[in-house]
Amino acid sequence: MQPMRRRQRGFPLLCLSTALLAAAALLPGAAVAEGVTPSEARRLRDEVKDMFYHAFDGYMKYAFPLDELRPLSCQGEDSLGGYALTLIDSLDTLALLGDKEKFGAAVEWVGKNVRFDINKTVSVFETNIRILGGLLSAHMIASDYATGLRIQSYDDQLLHLAADLAQRLLPAFDTPTGIPFGSINLKYGVDENESKITSTAGGGTLTLEFGILSRLTNNTVFERVTKNSVRGIWSRRSKLNLVGAHINVFTGEWTQKDAGIGTSIDSFYEYLLKAYLLFGDEEYLYIFQEAYKAAMHYLHHDPWYVEVNMNSGATVWPLFNSLQAFWPGLQVLAGDVDPAIRTHDAFFSVWKKYGFTPEGFNLATLAVQNGQRSYPLRPELIESTYWLFKATRDYRYIDVGRDILASLQYGARCPCGYCHISDVETHKQDDHMESFFLAETVKYLWLLFDLAAGPDNIVENGPYKYIFSTEGHLLPVTREIALVDEHCSYFGAFCNGSANRGYGTSASSTKHKKPNYTQLDDIQTPSGHYSASNMFATSSYIKGVCPGLTHAQKLGISYSDEEGNVIEQTSESHEHHGEPAVASSVQAQSSNIILISHPVASQPDEALRRWSGSGDHADIVVTADSDSISHDNTDGSLGVNTEELTEDTGRSSKQSEDEDIAQNLKSNEDIS
Residue positions forming the annotated binding site for Ca(2+): 470
Q: Specify the 3-state DSSP secondary structure of 392.
A: helix
108 as an active site residue: the answer is no
Out of 266, 283, 290, 302, pick the active-site residue: 266
- How many separate helices (H) and strands (E) can be counted in the chain? 26, 28
Out of 194, 223, 258, 380, pick the active-site residue: 380
Cβ pair 234, 574 in contact under 8 A: no
Residue by residue, DSSP assigns 177-209 as TSPPPSEEETTTBS-TT--SEEEHHHHHS-HHH
Query: For residue 648, what are the CA distances in angstroms to 35, 350, 393?
Result: 21, 22, 19
101 as an active site residue: the answer is no
Out of 126, 174, 258, 471, pick the active-site residue: 126
The CA distance from 474 to 95, in Å, is 10
658 as an active site residue: the answer is no
The CA distance from 385 to 399, in Å, is 10
- Helix ranges (H only) for 266-316 are 266-279, 282-298
Half-sphere exposure of 105 (CA within 13 A, CB side): 5
266 as an active site residue: the answer is yes
Using alpha carbons, select from 260, 264, 255 the residue that is nearest to residue 309.
Answer: 260
* AA letter at 12: P
The CA distance from 153 to 134, in Å, is 19
Residue positions forming the annotated binding site: 470
Q: What angle do CA 245, 251, 253 make, to 5 degrees?
A: 35
Using alpha carbons, select from 365, 330, 368, 322 the residue that is nearest to residue 346.
Answer: 322
The CA distance from 439 to 379, in Å, is 9
- Helix ranges (H only) for 63-98 are 85-96
Which residues does 599 contact at the CB level (< 8 Å), separation at least 6?
none
* AA letter at 186: L
**Burial of 575: CB neighbours in 10 Å, binned 0-12, 13-18, 19+:** exposed
Which residues does 53 contact at the CB level (< 8 Å), separation at least 6?
none
Half-sphere exposure of 25 (CA within 13 A, CB side): 19
Residues with a catalytic annotation lie at: 126, 266, 359, 380
